[in-house]
A and B are shown apart, each in its own frame.
Chain A
């Protein structure tokens, strides 16, 4: 394989990373913010087209000595991450244009997104670690980019927890490498397939540490401490990026490491990691929802809600471990719909908070009369987060729960029961917010509407939530194809 072919295999990520450099440099020559924004979008479209090229030209297989792989799974996430980033960038224009650090914002987003795309196609512990750290470091800076006190606090908190969790992750990787003697996921899978009971304990130690390290990215309890403060303190566009793209990438890599490396169902340690994710899932749902009940700040509320939603995905991971054949595709489907839903919600919040000048739920009173479009999109997305039909969130939960039941373990039925009860709890705080939007008297009379481009991505997200809810089969097929390559 020639050098260009190697590079071709990481093409989408490269396009984004190069785009980032171009944006940085362009800042030196042009004072115009609009062109920075445009360049960022061009880079994202370029990355998207490159991924599309991979998908249609049948590019596949490993490259760079097995460090990365081009497969349906990586492409699924490449599309999800790039589309999500595109939407965030489009919606952030008003916010970023008013700041000195616009170029840094755009460029760092591109670095982070590019590393995530790389992360999703990583096939080796070392590539995984490097890609994960690159994306994280960009995010630490992004969290504090507003240069205010809150942002600084958020950024520092994020950095400190991130650094600790990276160390833990690396420690876990070291265990896996020490036992299996290889950093390649396929090699670890081979080892697990033939290993004897004696290696069980060190392996468990390894993957528990790995899960703890990744748990930070996924925002699973008990690694969620940073979430509410960072969500509240960091600028909303950055938070929306963290909550959709970063989360999707985190779950992508967890699924690849655990499902490919440790094997779902049948291996001698699959039950162990099933129980581990089961416990993490239950804790995340319970604590995430309990925390959300008390919030009055929309970003904190969405932060806690994202912890609870991560718990739902955790159920899916437990199902995958327990050998459910529906499970892996269910996780992918859930992530796909969650990205669309949270994007819609966050873009609506970005658009609303720009004008309302506040993130308090109380200030959303009567939003439906002040800005009907934002209100309707927000309501659709909140319904989807609750899991009420006919939105995508309903199908996603159904899919995850059904996968868990299908694994055929009684304790997973119990876990699903915990999940459905939590859905009821979450209905309370999502609906309370919706009630404020629809029923309360507006605090001020003037109306507003977001920029045209923002309206566009917002409507696209809202429509996606409804269309997936009514016709889920295409996304289900895509998720199944992507999941199939992991086994």
Chain B
């Protein structure tokens, strides 16, 4: 079933590419159908996922590279547990949303949707891989579609931003590969479950070096200060749908990698550096929030708020305990839906106003009540208002980390205050204030695809805010074994 989830978007991408030129508009529908089917599969996986069962479920496995000699046998192995199942669901959801909000794309339509679908396949592979090398393959595979999507369909300094994104990621992942190879040699396998069960206690190079080699890739992706600078550029210049995917699922690859690979395979090193991680996290939260306050560009504002919010994920991780991890995992899921929605809204506003300068907009609520309302809702969710999904995640994170790192936690809580500031201030400046003549003729969100995209995300945000057990049950079942290993490493 997971292989199906992997192959559906790929099949859609191939179909879209081979469309004849005169029917290129059909690529939209192909993309919608295939990402929709994949979403259906991800729902099915999530619903049929049994949190009471230990280990990975829906496993598909065969030997991909068979090379007799020790240490070079690579598997194709897919599976999900409580940590990855929600992320797979999130990916399915956001992919459909991305396709929907791209219905207005006119430039090189076939290729656009093909790359978007290929991106989904690549990220899906990252979330479901049970083998380090396979994980790395998908991690790299994601680069190319992202690079092209930003540099062809982006705006502004798109080529610069795309190249920056690519070089940051590729450099980070290069060291990760070295780390994986050394670990694989030590353990004689690249299987994540086996490595987790028997963490190596020695290797060719000090384990601390391996830990940081691997963490670097994840921290770049998350991203965390000081390796975050690619993110605002990439976000600002990317097309809306790509921003949604980037904020919604691509950043989660970093957090997921930390929880799935770095911590359980190298628990002692993780414990050794917990304070460093907490400090990085606390600083990222505050730094991201302060920079966000200063943004005049709507999209950059949301982008920087991601730096701040992903700091919570690292903060939860640095607690090295079950509650903190759960908070981090929840934060990844909820940030995916909330920031995804924020980027959708930013895109819709930009489509109408053709500017992202906050200072130029005023009183838009009078012209577009629906967009204004949903934007406000997304903003409130983002600043952690109770009753919405962000609150659950942040609260859990802080509960988990306060004992371990009181200073960093307090800093992060202060970050929440700041986020209330920049979100409300932004909403106030754009939607309230006197309506101006310049914006007198803006249409609201009327197209069915715009409304469906918004509606789906709002539904998820509210549902989880009101009834968190929808995903917490799964997340906790996935976190428990990881937390047990990491706590044992103390």
Question: Measuring CB to CB, which residues of chain A are less than 8 angstroms from any residue of chain B?
Answer: 325-326, 329, 383, 388-390, 394-395, 398-399, 401-403, 405-406, 408-410, 413, 416-417, 420-421, 423-424, 427-428, 431, 435, 438-439, 472-473, 476, 480
Contact = CB atoms under 8 A, between A and B. Distances in A.
Interface in B168-189: 170-171, 174-175, 177-178, 181-182, 184-185
Interface stretch (B41-49, B136-144, B386-394): B136-144
Interface centre among A394, A395, A405, A406 (most CB of B within 10 A): A405
A398 B133 contact: yes
B147 A431 contact: yes
A428 B163 contact: yes
B140 A423 contact: no
A216 B205 CA distance: 34
B23 interface: no
Contact of B143 (A388, A408, A476): A388
A117 to B, nearest CB: 27
A413 B178 contact: yes
11 contacts: A326-B67, A326-B69, A394-B140, A395-B65, A405-B204, A413-B205, A421-B174, A424-B171, A428-B167, A473-B65, A480-B68
Interface of B: 65-72, 133, 137-138, 140-141, 143-144, 147-148, 151-152, 159, 163, 166-167, 170-171, 174-175, 177-178, 181-182, 184-185, 204-205
A388 B185 contact: no
A421 B177 CA distance: 11
Nearest to A471: B64
A406 B70 contact: yes
Contacts of A420: 174-175, 177-178
A427 B71 contact: no
A424 B140 CA distance: 11
Contacts of B67: 326, 329, 399, 473, 476, 480
Contacts of B137: 389-390, 394
Contacts of A329: 67, 69
A1 B144 CA distance: 58
Contact of B148 (A388, A409, A410, A438): A438
A395 B248 CA distance: 30
B151 A472 contact: no
Nearest to B147: A431
Given A390-B141, A413-B205, A421-B174, A438 B70 contact: no
Nearest to B162: A435
Given A431-B147, A438-B148, A326 B72 contact: yes
B21 to A, nearest CB: 11
Contact of B71 (A402, A476, A480): A402
B69 A325 contact: yes
Contacts of A431: 147, 163, 166
A427 B166 contact: yes
Contact of A476 (B65, B163, B174): B65
Given A473-B67, A480-B67, A438 B167 contact: no
Contacts of A409: 204
A480 B133 CA distance: 21
A333 to B, nearest CB: 9
A403 B72 CA distance: 9
A417 B213 CA distance: 10
Given A325-B69, A405-B178, 10 more contacts: A398-B177, A405-B185, A406-B71, A408-B185, A410-B205, A413-B182, A420-B177, A431-B163, A438-B148, A439-B151
Interface centre among A402, A431, A472 (most CB of B within 10 A): A402
Contacts, number: 96
Given A410-B205, A435-B151, A399 B170 contact: no
Contacts of B174: 417, 420-421, 423-424
B142 to A, nearest CB: 10
A322 B77 CA distance: 32
A8 to B, nearest CB: 32
A395 B136 CA distance: 12
Contacts of A388: 140-141, 143-144
Contacts of B151: 435, 439
A216 to B, nearest CB: 30
B66 A399 contact: no
Contacts of A405: 178, 181-182, 185, 204
A408 B140 CA distance: 26
Nearest to A426: B170
Contacts of A417: 174-175, 178
A402 B167 contact: no
Contacts of B204: 405, 408-410, 413
Interface centre among B72, B151, B159, B175 (most CB of A within 10 A): B72
A335 B458 CA distance: 54
Nearest to B177: A420
A91 to B, nearest CB: 26
A438 B152 contact: yes
A421 B175 CA distance: 8
B236 to A, nearest CB: 19
Contacts of A413: 178, 182, 204-205
A421 B213 CA distance: 12
| 7 residue pairs, one from A and one from B, having the closest CB atoms | A420-B174, A389-B137, A405-B181, A424-B170, A424-B171, A326-B69, A476-B67
Nearest to B158: A439
Contacts of B143: 388
Nearest to B148: A438
A261 B166 CA distance: 44
Nearest to B111: A438
B66 A473 contact: yes
B170 A423 contact: yes
B167 A427 contact: yes
B194 to A, nearest CB: 17
Contacts of B182: 405, 413
Contacts of A325: 69-70
A389 B175 CA distance: 17
A428 B163 CA distance: 8
A328 B71 CA distance: 15
A424 B167 contact: yes
Nearest to B141: A389
Contacts of A401: 177-178, 181
B185 A406 contact: yes
B223 to A, nearest CB: 17
Contacts of A402: 71-72, 181, 184-185
Contacts of A390: 137, 141
B154 to A, nearest CB: 11
A389 B167 contact: no
A383 B148 CA distance: 13
Contacts of A473: 65-67
Contacts of B144: 383, 388
A402 B147 CA distance: 27
A416 B174 CA distance: 10
A364 to B, nearest CB: 16
B167 A416 contact: no
A423 B177 CA distance: 12
A375 to B, nearest CB: 12
Interface centre among A399, A420, A439 (most CB of B within 10 A): A420
A469 B174 CA distance: 19
A439 B72 CA distance: 38
A476 B73 CA distance: 11
Interface centre among B141, B181, B182, B185 (most CB of A within 10 A): B181
